[in-house]
Amino acid sequence: MTLDKLEIGNKATIKSINCDSALKNRFYSFGIIRNSIISVEELTLTKSTIEIKINSTKVALRLKEASAIEVEKCS
């Protein structure tokens, strides 16, 4: 499953990041790395941006960017 498919309030573990190196470096600077726990906090009304929480940091991503992050839902 990709991050853009995760529902609000759910938590997941990042399994892989499938994008170019520039975007991957941007993700790394936010702490979005493999095996981190991530949760979806908000989704804009136009459904073009997703707000995520990783550790204690909140980050807004475009849905297209979120679709590059493979996650596994935490039970």
CATH of the domain at 63: 2.30.30.90
User: Is 80 exceeded by the pLDDT of residue 75?
Assistant: no
Q: How far is CA 9 from CA 21, 22, 39, 43, 52, in A?
A: 29, 29, 6, 11, 10
Domain count, the chain: 1
In the numeric block, the tokens 């991503």 are attached to 61
In this predicted structure, what is the pLDDT of residue 46? 87
pLDDT tens string 48-69? 999 999 989 999 999 999 999 9
In this predicted structure, what is the pLDDT of residue 47? 84
In this predicted structure, what is the pLDDT of residue 73? 95
pTM: 0.89
Mean per-residue pLDDT over the chain, rounded: 94
In this predicted structure, what is the pLDDT of residue 37? 95
Domain ranges, residue 69: 3-73
User: Is 90 exceeded by the pLDDT of residue 29?
Assistant: yes
